Amino acid sequence: SRSRSRSRSPRRRRRDDNRGARGPPARVKPEAEETIECAGCEGRVIGRAGATIKRLQEETGARVDIDRQRGGSCVVSGSEAQVAAAAAAVRKIIAEARERESGGGGGGGGGG
């Protein structure tokens, strides 16, 4: 029983440490915020198991959220540079998703 309680304690600390590491940036008011309309493309922005949105946040340092109450808007916040980088990446994902939906222009035929 003694070893059991010891093994649980560090796990709790680790989880708390993770939250603490993420906490301060969220508490600091973002310098910039941009809302991007992504209705119908939320799934592409989020990615499988959140992989795409996590990658965007790690690469750009910006916070990226999907606001379903606003009809699927993508809210990007952080410093101006972070928001610019993340917003560009989100727009690219949305453009690619919409291009696929519309069948995307086929490749040109070879001359010959």
For range 12-34, the mean pLDDT: 58
Q: Length of the chain, please?
A: 112
Over residues 31-86, the pLDDT tens digits come to 899 999 988 899 999 999 999 999 999 999 999 999 888 788 999 999 999 999 99
Whether residue 76 contacts residue 33, with contact meaning beta carbons closer than 8 Å, is answered with yes
**Cα 3 from Cα 48, distance rounded (Å):** 38
Whether residue 13 contacts residue 21, with contact meaning beta carbons closer than 8 Å, is answered with no
pTM across the whole model: 0.65
What CATH number has the domain spanning 28-101?
Answer: 3.30.1370.10
**Cα 20 from Cα 40, distance rounded (Å):** 34
Angle between helices 51-60 and 80-101 (to 10 degrees): 150
Domain spans in the chain, listed from the N-terminal domain onward = 28-101
